[in-house]
């Protein structure tokens, strides 16, 4: 009885796999990979990371039910104050073009005061944003706010994000201030 002809080929594949794993481990342990945030990725790495992120969030957020009352003024007030405390440092506020975080983080956090460039509809964008705020994104500087913030609070932030690009600095200040209005002085 003769051995099947593909057997030597399987041995070659296993050997190639072992060599590849050994080379990857050697690279990891060598310390040669630059991890500094000021050392930018290659365009190919950016493409791979962004595609991985977008596809993962699209899949994970597709079943989320979006509340029908996202345009309520109460949501804007609740979400605005939270956005100002938790997000504005990285994602900016009207009238600001950069911060220490936008200059130092890699990848740079998106400027959410600018109109959204993607092609997805309002519903998908709301699902996407809710999921990202709740779960965060690994190794990107975006934390998961879900452990300490309930869904209603996160939806209010999503509601605020919808209107953020239209706000003037003065409107932003009024909507995001947590304190109550002072009576006019004489």
Partner 1 sequence: MTYKTLRWLAVLPALILVLAVQAHEPSEHMEEAEKPKCSEMKDMDHAEMDMDDPVMQAMMKKCKQHMDKKDADSKESEHRHSESDDDATRKSQHDH
First to last CA, the chain: 106
Query: How far apart, in whole angstroms, are the C-alpha atoms of residue 160 and residue 83?
Result: 8
Q: For 33, phi and psi rounded to 5 degrees?
A: -75, 125
Helices (H) and strands (E) in the chain, counts: 8, 0
> Residue 66 CB, nearest distance to partner 1 (Å)?
16
Is 144 a binding residue for partner 1 by CB under 8 A? The answer is no
Is 152 a binding residue for partner 1 by CB under 8 A? The answer is no
Nearer to partner 1, 40 or 72 (CB): 72
Residues paired with 142 in a beta bridge:
137
> Residue 140 CB, nearest distance to partner 1 (Å)?
20
Is 82 a binding residue for partner 1 by CB under 8 A? The answer is yes
Nearer to partner 1, 54 or 74 (CB): 74
DSSP class of 165: G
Is 93 a binding residue for partner 1 by CB under 8 A? The answer is no
**Two structure tokens written together for 141:** 């500087």
Is 151 a binding residue for partner 1 by CB under 8 A? The answer is no
Rg, the chain, Cα only:
23
Is 133 a binding residue for partner 1 by CB under 8 A? The answer is no
Query: Binding residues for partner 1, per CB under 8 A?
Result: 71-74, 76-77, 80-82, 85, 148-149, 163, 166-167, 170-171, 173-184, 186
């Amino acid at each position: 009885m003769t051995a099947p002809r593909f057997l030597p080929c399987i041995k070659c594949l296993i050997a190639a796999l072992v060599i590849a794993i050994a080379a990857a481990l050697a690279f990891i342990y060598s310390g040669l990979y630059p991890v500094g945030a000021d050392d930018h990725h290659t365009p190919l790495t950016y493409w791979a990371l962004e595609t991985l992120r977008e596809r993962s969030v699209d899949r994970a957020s597709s079943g989320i039910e979006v509340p029908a009352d996202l345009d309520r003024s109460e949501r804007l007030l609740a979400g605005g104050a939270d956005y100002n405390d938790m997000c504005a440092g990285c994602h900016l506020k009207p009238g600001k073009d950069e911060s220490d975080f936008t200059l130092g983080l890699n990848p740079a956090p998106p400027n959410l005061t600018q109109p959204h460039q993607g092609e997805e509809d309002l519903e998908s964008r709301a699902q996407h944003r809710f999921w990202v705020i709740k779960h965060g994104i690994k190794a990107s500087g975006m934390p998961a706010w879900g452990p300490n913030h309930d869904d209603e609070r996160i939806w209010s932030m999503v509601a605020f994000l919808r209107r953020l690009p239209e706000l003037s600095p003065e409107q932003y200040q009024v909507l995001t201030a947590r304190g109550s209005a002072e009576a006019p002085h004489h």
